[in-house]
Amino acid sequence: MTPDERAAQLEACFHRVREIIQAEEMWERVPERARESSPENLEGLVKFAYFGGFIDMAGVRRLLMVDQPAARQLLVKWYEEVREQGCWLC
């Protein structure tokens, strides 16, 4: 996969997770700084959707284009972040 193809796929995933959050009527809870497409914001939105119960781990893997071990590592990282910093839902 070329860098341009990967960037296009990440952009599509960003829009998909945004649609999921909007369908749950929770987009207004997303901070302004996280509403622009970037890899960091994509991860943040996927984390928000996961902890909000809008997607499951299969959705996390699909939207972030990672395998199961990488998704598990992200989950551990996310739980640590939520414990230390809170989340957008709080």
- Distance CA(13)–CA(37), nearest Å, equals 10
pLDDT in tens, 1-10: 899 999 999 9
Predicted local confidence at residue 66, as pLDDT: 96
User: Are residues 64 and 43 in contact, defined by beta-carbon separation less than 8 angstroms?
Assistant: yes
pLDDT in tens, 17-47: 999 999 999 999 999 999 999 999 999 999 9
